[in-house]
Amino acid sequence: MAKKFPLNPPHPERICWGCDLYCPATSLACGNGADRTMHPVETFGEDWYRFGDLGFTPEPGARNVELIPLVPVTE
């Protein structure tokens, strides 16, 4: 299933971006609670999706991209 991933969220520091749960930074559910995973915009800046070959090209003016897993996800 494709999950929408924001290109430039308004407050990326409030969410852990490490998995599909998008937990609040103060309540990490999937990891050991050590630290949250930062959004790429926090590390690389607002044009983070232009670096390298990420396998997607957002439409002009798009706010989100759909992330499709490369391997099937089993639940």
pLDDT band for 71, please (50, 70, 90 cuts). low
Q: What is the pLDDT of residues 37-57, one digit of tens each?
A: 899 899 888 888 888 777 777
Q: Across residues 4-10, what is the average pLDDT?
A: 86
Task: Kindly tell me if the per-residue pLDDT of 7 is higher than 80.
Answer: yes
Spans of all domains in the chain: 1-66
User: Length of the chain in residues, anyone?
Assistant: 75
Q: What phi-psi label fits residue 49: left (phi over 0), alpha (psi between -120 and 50 degrees) or beta?
A: alpha
Contact 60, 49 (CB under 8 A): no
pTM: 0.69
**Looking at residue 73, what is its pLDDT?**
58
CA distances from 68 to 2, 4, 10, 47, 73 (A): 5, 9, 23, 20, 10
